[in-house]
Amino acid sequence: MLTVNILAIINVVILFALLFFRKENALSNKILAISFLIPGLYFVNTIFILAGYQKLLSVSLFFVQMVAVLFPVTLYYYFNLLQGKGFRVNKTLFIGSALLLLYITTLAIRFALLSPSAQTTYIQRLSTEDYPLDMFLYTVFFYVWQLVYFSVITRDIIRYKKQLNDNLSNLEQSKFHYMVRFIVLLWCFNAILVGLYICFPLYIVDYILLPIVVNALYAFILYFSFHHNAIFTSATFNLLNKVNTEVNKEIPADDDEKKKNVLTDKHHEAYLALTELIEKDLIYTDPDLSLKTISSKTGIAEYIVSQAINHYYQKSFFNLINEKRVETSKCRLLAMKPTETIEGIAYDTGFNSRSSFYRAFKKYTGKTPQQFILSSKPQ
């Protein structure tokens, strides 16, 4: 038990250092780093319990539980930052967290009023099957409440995806995949923990299974975030935030034409202008291309361009542009010179990362670039 908790603390320190002290850092990284310090404090408490440091534990036990209430709060803020929303207060979540904090504060006061011998007995029960009922209830409430937080975050991400549907560049697509995988992992692990707390003695889950789950989360962050460039530098975060700001501007409610999605001559004009930009200007090779770019070049509102694409091409802006990029890259791959690389062709055709190119190429051709090249060679 002791070893797995010490390992979890070491991982916390490593992950915090990598996220918080990263060069050209973004605020989102620092928030994520701070959020994962919170379970690190929890594991320190666990070590105090297992090692019998009762004097230290009597001071830290409920303080750490109070701080733990902030864990889903910081993650909620983190995901808001990724979606360009900044700090927003959800009144329902705020009230629920406040009530949970009030409950654990009440337990802390009750504990402080116990005699020294009663406090010692209470702490000893934390590592036995005779786990204090009030702490058991708090733990279950805490993880159920986290599920509520993660469900709200999931809902927000789905809404964000719908808003971004026609504006998604490869950068936003990469970050969206990261958000989806991260929140699904958080939700699933949290749901599993709720089930484990119900099925197993609480101290076994707390001291053995919980650090294992958290270590798995750390592994995800280290692998997916850094390997797929999903953790932002300040430059990429600012770029993403600029796009998010535009996307989060809602369509005016009193504009009936926008609501009804009625096709007009303006839509046909947008279709012709976009077709020319694609076929003659090869505008899709711009890695930062968005509806705003098209709107600026054509002088036609973004929503009209979007509706024209949906009607005339029967697909979203993102899929249209990526299909054109893949088609161009196929021609380039077939005529690839010895001095060229697959990654170089990917960047030339508008993709801004190797992973986004491979993902799109596989989606539209059913093959990886290497498989496509091999299958195209004469037998």
Contact present, 309 and 317 (Cβ < 8 Å): yes
Rounded to whole angstroms, the Cα distance separating 187 from 217 reads 11
Residue 109 scores a pLDDT above 90: yes
Residue 236 scores a pLDDT above 90: no
Q: CA end-to-end span of the chain, whole Å?
A: 60
pLDDT confidence of residue 170: 54
Rounded to whole angstroms, the Cα distance separating 277 from 300 reads 13
Question: Which of 254-268, 296-310, 323-337 is predicted least confidently?
Answer: 254-268
pLDDT confidence of residue 238: 53
Torsion angle defined by CA atoms of residues 279, 282, 284 and 286, in that order, rounded to the nearest 10 degrees: -170
Residues, the chain, total? 379
pLDDT confidence of residue 227: 56
Cα–chain center distance at 185: 10
% of the chain residues with pLDDT over 90: 30
Q: Which residues contact 231 (CB under 8 A, 6 or more apart)?
A: 19, 22, 29, 32, 225
Token pair, residue 155, equals 């809902």
- Reported as a single tens digit per residue, the pLDDT across 67-106 is 999 999 999 999 988 887 777 789 999 999 999 999 999 9
List Cβ<8 Å contacts ≥24 apart for 233-241.
233/22, 233/23, 233/24, 233/25, 233/26, 234/24, 234/25, 234/26, 235/24, 236/26, 236/171, 237/26, 237/27, 237/28, 238/26, 239/171, 239/288, 240/82, 240/84, 240/171, 240/172, 240/175, 241/84
DSSP character string of 87-146: S---HHHHHHHHHHHHHHHHHHHHHHTS-HHHHHHHHHHTTSSS--HHHHHHHHHHHHHH
- Reported as a single tens digit per residue, the pLDDT across 334-343 is 988 888 899 9
The per-residue b/e assignment along 62-79, b for 16 or more CB within 10 angstroms, e otherwise, is bebbebbbebbbbbbbbb
Q: What DSSP character marks residue 336?
A: -
Contact present, 92 and 156 (Cβ < 8 Å): no
Mean pLDDT of 287-315: 87
Q: Which residues contact 98 (CB under 8 A, 6 or more apart)?
A: none
Phi-psi sector, 229: left (phi>0), alpha (psi -120 to 50), beta: left
**How many CB atoms are closer than 10 A to CB 99?**
12
* Average pLDDT score over the chain: 82
Residue 38 scores a pLDDT above 60: yes
Residue 168 scores a pLDDT above 80: no
Residue 258 scores a pLDDT above 60: no
Q: What DSSP character marks residue 221?
A: I
pLDDT confidence of residue 152: 94
DSSP character string of 22-52: -TTB-HHHHHHHHHTHHHHHHHHHHHHHHHT
Residue 267 scores a pLDDT above 80: yes
Token pair, residue 100, equals 């949970």
Mean pLDDT of 330-351: 90
Contact present, 126 and 203 (Cβ < 8 Å): yes
Mean pLDDT of 41-69: 85
- The residue ranking higher by pLDDT, 175 or 300, is 300
pLDDT confidence of residue 165: 55
pLDDT confidence of residue 302: 84
Q: Which residues contact 277 (CB under 8 A, 6 or more apart)?
A: 283, 294, 297, 298
- The pTM of the full predicted model, rounded to 2 decimals, is 0.66
> Nearest-CA neighbor of 16 among 249, 222, 243?
222
Beta bridge partners of 25: 233
Residue 167 scores a pLDDT above 80: no
**How many CB atoms are closer than 10 A to CB 264?**
12
Rounded to whole angstroms, the Cα distance separating 350 from 358 reads 13
Token pair, residue 164, equals 């971004």
Q: How confident is the model at residue 24 (pLDDT cuts 50, 70, 90)?
A: low
